[in-house]
Structure 1
Amino acid sequence: MLALEYRRSPARFLTVRGASSTRFGARMSGALATNVAPLRLVNHAEPARPATGWTRLKPLLSGICGSDLSLLTGRSSPYLGALVSMPFVPGHEVVAETLDDLPGLARGTRVVVDPVLSCVARAVPPCRWCQVGRHSRCDRITGGRLAAGLQTGFCTDTGGGWSRRMLAHASQLHPVPDGLDDHRAVLTEPLACAIHSVRRVAIPDGAAALVVGAGTVGLLTVLALRAATRVGPIYVIAKHGHQRERARALGATEVFEPSRAARALRRACGGTLEHPVLGPEFLLGGADLAYECSGAASGLDTALRLVRAGGTVVLSGMPSGRVDLTPVWFRELRLVGSYASDGRGVPEGADGASTADAAGAADGSGVAEPGDEPADRAGQFAEALTLAAAAPLDGYVNAVYSLSRWREAIGHAARAGELGTIKVAFDPRRN
């Protein structure tokens, strides 16, 4: 069975990390990942189900995510090293076919995978977060019957979507409607994450939102903001022309090039533009909240500089690099993380947090304290499947490769924006 396997190699990781940190290395990150990162095409034995409630899967499409690229280019944080097991097969954005019968899920069913390996999959008593359906916060992702792994695609026991076979627990699987093709279905996981991110904070009607970055995460965040909230204007910072066109099609009010974002947002939202002796300009004023979707230090720095005092910045992209947090202190900003998605409904206050007014916090910021998210969180994967079928997402998966062409695929994904691509995926069935 063919699979792409990532093995622990501190020397290779540090080599690609050091090279990627240079300006030249950043431009060559795809080449570095394919030539230096410890990723190899191997032949694995067919996986065996570890217990009842599990099924083998045949991946049909599996996306290449920004977090995968961060790992392969050495930009991922060492913090995450304790939460994975080696070697592992990457791939957590997966549409697949079940190969075994499960209760209520017959063999041959097309499914998408919620990748978080929470308490139920690990056969341990549910932690406080899994008890209330917020499995993205699971405290036991290194315990139980499985090797450590925050998600499928980072766990040696489950495999991942960059292979011809993998394993998944029934609790992770969501049937795909017959009318939804594979190219849209594979976007379900990142779209569920986007829906989760816009529900992480209460957004008052008419609030001005800024989305920094217009790759897959940023574009799907624009879609989720329009579909799931009553947000007002949505401003997007996008590097490339095709990204700007797609952002407008999903409901962006205005789209800015990075070099003119501060001035353009000042005209749109008001405030004054300030120019430090050293460092980028910033606003006194700006958007009510911002979503950092690039996963780059420069993107977070931009977001912090362009939201108003008392505003909120949501980390949707996986953060990397050093950032000046002075605006968080000086402008009393809220910095909120958003990871994965929640799969079940949660009653108000069930996690022990105080109840927040859905219209906004008492200080008028329109943002609840972290942990006070709106309670209507039922079925974010089901919501994403419905939205994936209805939204204008044709052509988002516009580069598909076989596993044997993995070097070309990773190189393409690393340069997706400049090549006019949104999502690159593997079709493991191809030779």
Structure 2
Amino acid sequence: MNLTLEYHRSPVRYMTTRTATGTSVGGRASGWMAANLSPLRLLNRPEPRLPGAGWTRVRPRLSGICGSDLGLLTGRNSPYLSALISLPFTPGHEVVGDTLDDLPDLPKGTRVVLDPVLGCVPRGLEPCAGCAADQPSRCDHITAGRVSAGMQTGYCADTGGGWSRVFVAHASQLHRVPDTVDDERAVLVEPLACAIHTVRRAPIPDGASVLVVGAGTVGLLTTMALREYTKAGPIYVIARYGHQRELAREAGATEVLASDRAARALRRATGGFLARPERGSEYLLGGVDLAFDCTAGSGLDTALRVVRAGGTVVMSGMPNAGVDLTPLWFRELNLVGAYCSGGHDFPDALALAQSAPLTGYVDAVYPLSRWRDAIGHASAAGRLGSVKVAFDPTKDQ
């Protein structure tokens, strides 16, 4: 049998969790409520079946807890996504594990990381326009084919996910991990690939000034990707906690800013005029060339307010809050989305993982049996001094 954490639809629990973990309840208390009220169940299930040729079972070594997972468990994810999943599903899409079946280029026992997007190739379909362009994150067929609906592994009832002892994946989703990359680095490869994809979503001129809003896992990895794959000039990072400020500097930040002083600090650094509206946050007339929103909260609002006229805002954090779009209109900004990774980002992420300053990022690992503790910790990771919390499904206690 396969020990697995399953997510089941429960409108009552969804609304209760969303209310209980609202803005009036924050930090660790919010995480504990999400864990205790969320519709997760720890169950023993049969292993998922192989959907066809080219598929293998995978036994996770480590599986990360992502911000989108927390958004799901706290009822903050948009209902837009509800049409792109199948229930019940097992979460977990940041995975390093071992294959359990022989494939032509991946013999049994190969250590792999997972590209979770379930595009046309694993679904056994003729490529749509996105997949034909080697951009499976733009797949139009994620509700069709040989497996049930699911934008990714971790949201699909037929594949299982990383929060279990066994799930299934197609060979096209798997990337061999070099021996020089340990498990703690390997479990960060998927979010690192997403960060690389993010910085490639918009042209970044040589010497451009860049702001990264947020210094959690996504923000820190985006800062690394900016330094490695672009010729950006000054990179400013907004960080909330002390350990994040230190890690942002190690990742390549030129200057680290406090969230409540960001507009004023950027006015001094880039020039411009600080405007103070009757209601709402202050903003710049002037500012940085580009901003990357790497949060799941108010980061987009901040980014829109500190980018120069005609500049670009790239949104990589999953949105879950309303935002005033007036700056987008008035300053004629470019707003760009960045979802998952592209076709070439995983090999680059595996290469960067070997040299990037990732030591200590995974500092809390839990067995599946302690899932409530894990969710509570991940929800308060910033305040508790953590970056990435993960499950080790191989452990009992």
Does the alignment reach a TM-score above 0.5?
A: yes
Q: What residue in structure 1 maps to residue 82 of structure 2?
A: 81
Contact 1:20 1:26 in 2 (8 A): no
Q: Specify the alignment match of 1:2 in structure 2.
A: 3
**Aligned residue in 2 for 1:235:** 236
In the other structure, the counterpart of 1:418 is 383
Partner Cα separation in structure 2 for residue 71 and residue 251 of structure 1: 31
Query: How many residues align structurally?
Result: 395
Q: Secondary structure at the match of 2:349?
A: helix
Q: What letter matches 1:387 in structure 2?
A: L
SS at match of 2:354: helix
Of stretches 88-97 and 41-50 in structure 1, the one that deviates more from structure 2 is 41-50
Flag structure 2 segments of 5+ consecutive residues without an equivalent: none
Match of residue 161 from structure 1: 162
Aligned to 1:333: 333
- TM-score (norm: length of structure 2): 0.98
Contact 1:19/1:25, CA 8 A, preserved across alignment: no
Q: For 1:45 and 1:408, how far apart are their aligned partners in 2?
A: 25
Letter in 2 for 1:399: A
Contact 2:21–2:34 under 8 Å retained in 1:
no
Deviation of 1:250 after TM superposition, in Å, equals 1.0
Matched, 1:407 2:368: no
Alignment of 1:15-414 (within 5 A): 15-24=16-25, 28-296=29-297, 298-343=298-343, 379-414=344-379
Call closer, same or farther: CA 1:27–1:182 in 2, change over 3 Å.
closer
CA distance in 2, matches of 1:102, 1:332: 51
- State the Cα deviation string for residues 131-179 of structure 1 (Å, max 9, x = none): 1101000000000111100000000000000000000000000000011
| CA–CA distance in structure 1, aligned partners of residues 22 and 363 of structure 2 | 29
* Structure 2: distance between partners of 1:6 and 1:237: 33
Q: CA deviation at 1:419?
A: 0.5
Q: Kindly provide the CA deviation profile for residues 192-223 of structure 1, in whole angstroms up to 9, marking residues without a partner as x.
A: 00000000011000000000000000000000
What's the offset of the Cα at 1:46? 2.0
Counterpart amino acid of 1:305?
R
Distance in 2, matches of 1:193 and 1:258, equals 24
Report the residue type matching 2:275 in the other structure.
E
CA distance in 1, matches of 2:109, 2:254: 43
Contact 2:32–2:373, Cα closer than 8 Å, also in 1: no
Q: Deviations over 1:88-146 (max 9, x none)?
A: 00000000100000011110000000000000111111101111101000000000111
Letter in 2 for 1:96: G
1:353-377 deviation per Cα after TM superposition (whole angstroms, max 9, x unaligned): xxxxxxxxxxxxxxxxxxxxxxxxx
Q: Which amino acid aligns with 2:78?
A: S
CA contact (8 A) 1:5 1:39 kept: yes
Give 1:39 deviation, angstroms. Answer: 0.6
2:356 corresponds to which letter in structure 1? A
Q: CA deviation at 1:25?
A: 5.4
Shift of 1:260: 1.0
1:8-29 CA-partner distances (Å, limit 9, x unpaired) = 1111111111222241256632
Q: Which residue in the other structure is 1:365 paired with?
A: none
Deviations 1:37-67 (A, max 9, x none): 1011110112221211000000000000000
What is the CA–CA distance in structure 2 between the aligned matches of 1:36 and 1:267, rounded to whole Å? 46
Deviation >6 Å, runs of 4+ = none
How well do the aligned residues superpose, as a CA RMSD in angstroms? 0.9
Q: How far apart in 1 are the matches of 2:277 and 2:82?
A: 37
SS of the residue aligned with 2:25?
helix
Per the alignment, residue 361 of structure 1 pairs with none
Q: 2-side partners of 1:194 and 1:411: how far apart?
A: 25
Normalising to structure 1: TM-score of the pair? 0.91
Q: Is the 8 A contact 1:25 1:32 kept in 2?
A: no
For the residues of structure 2 that align with 1:209 and 1:264, how far apart are their CA atoms?
13
Percent sequence identity over matched residues? 67
Q: Bigger shift: 8-17 or 84-93?
A: 8-17
Corresponding residue SS for 1:29: helix
Q: 1:114 to 1:428 in 2, by over 3 A?
A: same
Secondary structure at the counterpart of residue 277 of structure 1 = coil
For the residue of structure 2 that corresponds to 1:311, the secondary structure is strand
Deviates more, 1:18-27 or 1:134-143: 18-27
What letter corresponds to residue 39 of structure 1 in structure 2?
A: L
The answer to whether the 8 Å contact 2:27/2:379 transfers is no
Aligned-partner Cα distance in 1 for 2:385–2:257: 17
* Counterpart residue type for residue 333 of structure 2: L
Instruction: Note closer, same or farther for the CA distance 1:25–1:243 as it changes in structure 2 (3 Å cut).
Output: closer
